[in-house]
Structure 1
Amino acid sequence: MFIILMDRLEKALDYYNQALPITREVGDRRMEATTLTSLGVVYAGMGKLEEASKYLNQALPIDREMSYLLGEASTLNNLGAVYAGMGKLEEASKYLNQALPILQELDYRSGEANTLGNLAQFEQRQDNLTQALKYIEQAIDITEETRSEIISPDIKTSYFSSVYNLYQLYIDILMELHEKDPNKGYDAQAFAVSERSRARTLIELLTEANADIEQGIDPKLKEEEQSLRFQINAAEKQKLELFIKPDPDKMDRFTVVQEKLDTLNAQYQDLKNRIRATSPRYAALQFPQPLNLAEVQNQVLDTDTTLLQFALGEERSYVWVVTKDTMKTYLLPQSADIEAKVTAFSQWLGENPDERDSQQGQTAGQELSEMLFSQFATELTKKRLVIVSDGALHNIPFAALPFSKNSTLINNYEIVHLPSSSSLAIIREQNKQRQPAPKALAIFADAVYRNDDQRLKDSPSETTTNNPPNLNILALNQAIENVGNTRSGSPLSLKRLKHSQTEAQTIQTYLKDAETVSFFDFDANLENAQETDLSPYQIIHFASHGILDTERPELSGIVLSLYNEQGELINGYLRLNEIFNLNLTSELVVLSACETGLGKDMKGEGLIGLTRGFMYAGSPRVLVSLWQINDEGTSEFMRRFYRLMLEENLTPVQALKAAQLEMQQTEKWSDPYYWAAFTLQGEWNQ
């Protein structure tokens, strides 16, 4: 268990090898020891344990010579991990047990947790599982204590990701104990650890969302927040202008504006953390603990539902199959094997049906399905599956997985996805405390994206439109290709979604005399999304383009109109940060845009993306998509989904299944490319 400082180990190795002679030339012994230890860590990360031990053994006497206790403890800890990996168990034990008291003396809690984790892994390899359990529980206690002292959600998420391997080790040890003694309930404990290891920041954000933490804060903080939001909006508009207007220095200016935006966004997050730190309501919050097995069975599951909770690990993976009154655990292959099958299947699904090999997709899907379900397929007798994914599994549509002869999973079950069981329990508790929204639907559709749109007076001809020289830059640092009529893309590749207004108008006919509000054309803009009181509406529907940024998820969002009626460029990006500021009491948010179900996959937290933003804003369920689908196909699906939900009174999850089956049975739309991308996240009860 090594702390790898950089993902690109070869580059790290090069830098450290350049640094080492410099530290020796200037006579900086402490820095020399630190560099030697870093070289050892990098070599360990590359699997070159002999080389790692060579550098670490050079660092140790220098640490001791300089009385550098923290450096000595770090070197000892890494030496212990290296020797354990080499099978030299006596040396491993010696060094780890020397490191631990130094770290405790220094009160260096994160280092102590890491060493305890290494000791737990060492004892596990020697089959001393009881002692391994003792060490890992101590390590987890420290990580939980450390995490509780952090205010910033972003830092909490990053910290939790850095210690996620401890939770994986904890699960492994418990499951090995379960294999030795199946009657002691170790598998149930492992399930509880799995629940503790996922979506913790989301759980706390959901709790925070219901507390109105800005009440009672210094008014100057609110003023600063409004000012920053105004500045961010202005900078976004500047960036859009660079996309559109000819400018020989465009690239340089773009970099300046992007750096300004990055600074403003960082200031905004810092301000939100200062609000948390000074808010009386935030100080009074009692964050809920993740649920254990019995609580999940009592508070989350019903008699019609089976929960499949996955945990992917480097050496082995697990799935817990849980009903209202039963629980079984199954061993799955290592994460790399599962990820390979997921990649093959998901890539095939996202390709144009007219240009791909259908047999290849069937084979990939069958292999993945066999890997995930073969051990317990006959036990899935309930009508609904609730899936808590992990790692690469977030990216696949379970609905399209082959399950039995000539059928997919959606032919047999309703399918719902959750970030964690505990998050749904909080959502349900909050829903009990609010009145139902009195109005039916608020809908945004058919926005104006280009200056050659026919709806603009005196619009320039197609030939005068400036095409972007570099989509990677112009798509907000994300390589989004010109995707034509799909509901995703870069600012200048965004074409009119002609079917989206028809889609919206059809949906409104299903509601008959119910009260709705619609924003079409120029009115489908950011100002209306932010300034309109959306809280009275049961359903919020966005039929638009989407932008996905998996590196900086706060830049992901929904693209609304980029021009006003005068032909002036306006900011149309409803970013994730702004979604958090919406005030909703809706029963359902529908994101009829591409890739809205994706995000940045953070270990221990799951996907950081639009779904959590709308859940924070107040919606218990969100319908999203996993890949780019053409405008007509999306519109076709949405018309069916709403008809089934509004005219036939099906619940959203029932309507989702029925709409997918209808399309599956229609020749034009039968390929899973058209229907399988849509998934429901959150509550399944009406």
Structure 2
Amino acid sequence: MRNKLFKLLSYILITFCWSCQNPEKEDSTIPAEKSMLSFDEFEEIAENQPQQYIANPDSFIRAINLQPKNDFENESYAYGLVFMAYNLREQGNIFHSIQFYEKALNFAKEKNVEDIDISLYILKPLAALYIHVDDNKKAITLIEDLLQTISPKEDAQHLGLINNLANAYIYNGESQKAIQLLANKINTLPPSLSKALLLNTLSTAYEMENDQESSSKYNQSAIAEFEKYQLQGDTLIWYASALTQYATLNKSQKEVEKALNILHQSFPHSQFRNKANAYLTLADIELNHNNLDSAHKYYKAAYQNFQQEKKKYVLDYKYTYALLGLGRTSHKENKIDSAIYYYEWAIENDFRTQQLITSERDQLRNNIWNKKILEELIQLYIENPEIQTQSNRETLLWCIELSKARLLINEINRSENWSSADQKIKDAIQEIRRLYVKYDATDAAQEKKSIADQIGKLKTEFQLAENYFENVNFNPSKSSFLEKFQSKKEAYYSYYIHQDRSMSIVYTKADQLAFQKIEDKNLVDSLIHFKSNYFSSSPNSFNSNPEKYYKEARYFYHHLLPELSSEKHNIFLSLDGELYGLPFDALYDKEYLIQSYNFAYLNSFLLFDFITNKAPTTSKEISLLYRSEFPKPLPHLAFVNQEVANLTARYKTLAISPEHQNDSTIREAFSATNIIHIAAHTILDSIEAPYLYLHQAISTNQLRFFEIKTPLVFLSACNTGNGVALPSEGTESIQRVFLSKNVPSVISTYWFANDEVMLQLTSGFYEELQNSESPMLALAQAKRKFLNQASILQQNPWFWANINYTGIGNEVGLKKSSNLLFILIGSVLLALIVYLTRKIYLGRIKN
């Protein structure tokens, strides 16, 4: 059996470009009846007959239904999974390869399979594959840990890991770290194929640094080193990769054609991704020379190399790039309809591909790349009046919304998977949260670093164990998405801020979609000044000149909400960039917009499809988490105790005071289906994650690892909607984390809360919620009621516009506090008094 593993030893990562395969479920190609394979037969098929499972490995593994019962069967099954993973990788099916390496890893650990070298045969290729899907942070952690477990000798295994780590650094935006790592290692190496491989990776690192001279130097050294040897197998692939790198650097067709010839002759039935990468290089060269027919042909060839399974979506960034290339050449050839088609397809594929990434940093970096594609699509629409149709406006809206909240959607789906995970995963989640509690409770820098290191290691182990690649399934439907925009009751506005600070808006108008481009690049800067002037630490700017505020607020109303219908009272806004934190309901025409409209804010309209909270619409009670007294320099919150008293008197509540706030009680409160109401300070820090200052600090890091089932969170605390800006993701705020936990309605604040007004609005909100069962409407009604009764001073938007609703407009019922028991006791006592009084009276009559 061990001899078979010589084949696996040849695995060293060849090209570290983004890639993966489609996780969409397919019709099974395996007969429904269970196969009667033995473990030896399974292992033989896994190693030598990949054609039996390549088309649908999930169906194959389900159909054989093997249940290992002893050490021999455990070992055989583990090796079979590794062979499947290896062959799936060889065929370019990166997604399923990761899935099966993770299966093998978790199975080998669970069954304690001692005869398999997990580090060599599973973790090493798995780390390389994570780089393929651009989950670089996870790959770096894995490889760095692996390098610590092996002696620093200069054998192929060690050098392969060094190469993998360098590539992970490169694609994590840390090319200088890659250069330092490789330069130190290369200087000590004698001539060898491994040295050639490292030289070419060093060339890539210098290319990322825009150092063309150094990149060319090391690439040519790599090619010269390769050409000293008789190449075969993987070394031919490395050589072809070096030739392709040369072609990229020098815009040379000759070398890339030579690379393609090697790949086609030596690997006629595999290495499709490397062939596609070479065709993309050739296509880019032709496009750069404006040879459009040839460029289109080569982009098509790259696309076809990804079509071994004939799927529309292939979760691979190189596949997305091939589609983008087809869009660009179609555009230059003035085939505008085809260009729109390919751009939309590329953005759809990119959305699906990015959802494979678990690292927040890698997700956010990819958001920036995605926006570049979207910029090209919008510009294509603007420049061609003949294609400005309803259908293409629908495409624009669809693509803009796909570009937003990609990380948030990923977090929502991962949280859903955690809630149904096994106990081992739940224990790991609890341990990560426990460590974050310790981290948030200490100010000692050394202790923080130690805890952060523990968290990082545990999170990597957790991500390996959570079977994310088995559960991921992102298939948003364009037709379903567009249905809601035909509503006669709601208005929808989607915003996109361009790199040049202009703005595009797609919005509903009657039963159609409309598009408007705001070319004024000063509008965004004016908006930033407007927010900081009127909605920060003081109400004084408005008080000093209300008419100036009305004029500015009217200006933003007309620009940001064009053609707003007076007949549609619910307005859903999909925000972008600097629009976060702007209270649209405080904009002005003849009156504040809140007087006529109810506002809901969203990161993306796709949240209508991805937030699937199953909590009952009628909540039995409100879980109250509160704190009113704080150490200096924080002020006490005088309104909190009165707020708690008001809610407790009128509604059925579970009030958890500071002395009762521990991990157990907080966890129970969050996991119940009650409304959650939190009244305390929120601490924003430019370095550390925002946190709620209850009896213990609860940071956004902790919140991500709670199970939260509530249909509504009311954050009665300052700045819960504020935080560090994230690319295409809003702000790193307390509010956003609750959305990521699949909470469909969150009420939060944009700036400091006024005690008296917070009390009135909170009380008014719950009164209205009981009547309407709509959090969105209830908050708007509470604001209208407040404005109708407020003094001239408190009608200043600074006092009331900081509280805002984010969500999908779900219904949440609320029960009043039941006085039935007191009524019954009172009735019994009254009856008893009447009875005793009557008896005494009758007794006196008799006497």
Please report the TM-score for the alignment, with normalisation by the length of structure 1: 0.70
Superposition pairs of residues 203-242 of structure 1, within 5 angstroms: 203-212=409-418, 215-216=421-422, 219=424, 221-237=425-441, 239=442, 242=443
Q: What secondary structure does 2:514 align onto?
A: strand
**Partner Cα separation in structure 2 for residue 272 and residue 609 of structure 1:** 24
**Partner Cα separation in structure 2 for residue 324 and residue 579 of structure 1:** 41
Residue 298 to residue 551, structure 1, CA distance change in 2 (3 Å): farther
Could you tell me how far 1:338 is from its partner in structure 2? 3.7
Residue 193 to residue 448, structure 1, CA distance change in 2 (3 Å): same
**Partner Cα separation in structure 2 for residue 123 and residue 551 of structure 1:** 46
Could you tell me how far 1:543 is from its partner in structure 2? 0.7
Deviations 1:251-282 (A, max 9, x none): xxx3213323432442343244123227xxx7
Residue 582 to residue 15, structure 1, CA distance change in 2 (3 Å): closer
- Structure 2 residue 739 is matched with structure 1 residue 587: no
Could you tell me how far 1:622 is from its partner in structure 2? 0.7
Deviations 1:278-326 (A, max 9, x none): 7xxx72x46343342x423535774311111112222553222137832
Which residue does 2:681 correspond to in 1?
545
Deviations 1:428-450 (A, max 9, x none): x543xx54555221112234432
- Structure 2 residue 354 is matched with structure 1 residue 147: yes
Residue 289 to residue 171, structure 1, CA distance change in 2 (3 Å): farther
- Structure 2 residue 559 is matched with structure 1 residue 371: yes
Task: List runs of 5+ in structure 1 lacking aligned partners.
Answer: 6-11, 41-54, 79-87, 243-253, 451-491, 562-571
Which residue does 1:657 correspond to in 2?
780
**Partner Cα separation in structure 2 for residue 142 and residue 182 of structure 1:** 24
Q: What secondary structure does 1:574 align onto?
A: strand
**Residue 314 (structure 1) aligned to one of 499, 503, 515:** 499
Instruction: Tell me if structure 2 keeps the 8 A contact 1:164–1:603.
Output: no
Deviations 1:434-469 (A, max 9, x none): 54555221112234432xxxxxxxxxxxxxxxxxxx
Q: What secondary structure does 1:530 align onto?
A: helix
Which residue does 2:459 correspond to in 1?
269
Instruction: Tell me if structure 2 keeps the 8 A contact 1:385–1:416.
Output: yes
- Structure 2 residue 622 is matched with structure 1 residue 441: yes
- Structure 2 residue 517 is matched with structure 1 residue 517: no
Q: What secondary structure does 2:646 align onto?
A: helix
Q: Which has the higher contact order (CA 8 A, sep 6+)?
A: 1
Could you tell me how far 1:560 is from its partner in structure 2? 0.1
One-letter amino acid matched to 1:382:
K
Could you tell me how far 1:166 is from its partner in structure 2? 4.1
Superposition pairs of residues 488-503 of structure 1, within 5 angstroms: 492-503=632-643
Which residue does 1:390 correspond to in 2?
576
Q: What secondary structure does 2:721 align onto?
A: coil
Could you tell me how far 1:94 is from its partner in structure 2? 12
Superposition pairs of residues 180-199 of structure 1, within 5 angstroms: 180-183=386-389, 185-199=391-405
**Partner Cα separation in structure 1 for residue 247 and residue 302 of structure 2:** 6
**Partner Cα separation in structure 2 for residue 532 and residue 16 of structure 1:** 47
One-letter amino acid matched to 2:803:
F
Q: What secondary structure does 1:314 align onto?
A: coil
Residue 424 to residue 631, structure 1, CA distance change in 2 (3 Å): same
Could you tell me how far 1:682 is from its partner in structure 2? 0.9
Instruction: Tell me if structure 1 keeps the 8 A contact 2:616–2:673.
Output: no
**Partner Cα separation in structure 2 for residue 22 and residue 526 of structure 1:** 48
**Partner Cα separation in structure 1 for residue 392 and residue 587 of structure 2:** 31
**Partner Cα separation in structure 2 for residue 611 and residue 671 of structure 1:** 24
Could you tell me how far 1:653 is from its partner in structure 2? 1.9
Which residue does 1:414 correspond to in 2?
598
Residue 135 to residue 622, structure 1, CA distance change in 2 (3 Å): closer
Which residue does 1:337 correspond to in 2?
522
Superposition pairs of residues 238-317 of structure 1, within 5 angstroms: 239=442, 242=443, 254-277=444-467, 283=470, 285=471, 287-292=473-478, 294-299=479-484, 302-315=487-500, 316-317=502-503
- Structure 2 residue 798 is matched with structure 1 residue 673: yes
Deviations 1:87-141 (A, max 9, x none): x974797998999799999999646755875785687578664564466456446
Could you tell me how far 1:385 is from its partner in structure 2? 0.6
Instruction: Tell me if structure 2 keeps the 8 A contact 1:386–1:416.
Output: yes
One-letter amino acid matched to 2:392:
Y
Residue 449 to residue 320, structure 1, CA distance change in 2 (3 Å): same
**Partner Cα separation in structure 2 for residue 533 and residue 368 of structure 1:** 38
Which residue does 2:3 correspond to in 1?
none
One-letter amino acid matched to 1:383:
H
**Partner Cα separation in structure 1 for residue 251 and residue 345 of structure 2:** 16
Instruction: Tell me if structure 2 keeps the 8 A contact 1:350–1:628.
Output: yes
Which residue does 2:513 correspond to in 1?
327
Could you tell me how far 1:574 is from its partner in structure 2? 1.6
One-letter amino acid matched to 1:542:
I
Q: Percent identity?
A: 16
One-letter amino acid matched to 2:804:
T
**Partner Cα separation in structure 2 for residue 618 and residue 33 of structure 1:** 44
Which residue does 2:692 correspond to in 1?
558
**Partner Cα separation in structure 2 for residue 586 and residue 632 of structure 1:** 27
Which residue does 2:665 correspond to in 1?
528
Residue 291 to residue 200, structure 1, CA distance change in 2 (3 Å): farther
Could you tell me how far 1:624 is from its partner in structure 2? 0.6
Please report the TM-score for the alignment, with normalisation by the length of structure 2: 0.58
One-letter amino acid matched to 1:329:
F
**Partner Cα separation in structure 1 for residue 745 and residue 654 of structure 2:** 20
Q: What secondary structure does 2:522 align onto?
A: helix
**Partner Cα separation in structure 1 for residue 419 and residue 180 of structure 2:** 49
Superposition pairs of residues 118-157 of structure 1, within 5 angstroms: 124=331, 129-130=336-337, 132-133=339-340, 136=343, 139-140=346-347, 143-144=350-351, 146-150=353-357, 152=358, 154=360, 157=363
**Partner Cα separation in structure 2 for residue 130 and residue 675 of structure 1:** 48
One-letter amino acid matched to 1:497:
L
Residue 601 to residue 178, structure 1, CA distance change in 2 (3 Å): farther
Residue 201 to residue 627, structure 1, CA distance change in 2 (3 Å): same
Q: What secondary structure does 1:377 align onto?
A: coil
Could you tell me how far 1:382 is from its partner in structure 2? 0.7
One-letter amino acid matched to 2:445:
T
State the Cα RMSD in Å: 4.6
Q: What secondary structure does 1:522 align onto?
A: helix
Deviations 1:12-55 (A, max 9, x none): 99999999x999x9999868865764454xxxxxxxxxxxxxx6
Which residue does 1:458 correspond to in 2?
none
Instruction: Tell me if structure 2 keeps the 8 A contact 1:545–1:594.
Output: yes
Structure with larger Rg? 2
One-letter amino acid matched to 1:499:
F
Deviations 1:599-638 (A, max 9, x none): 4443344444333432344532010111123434433332
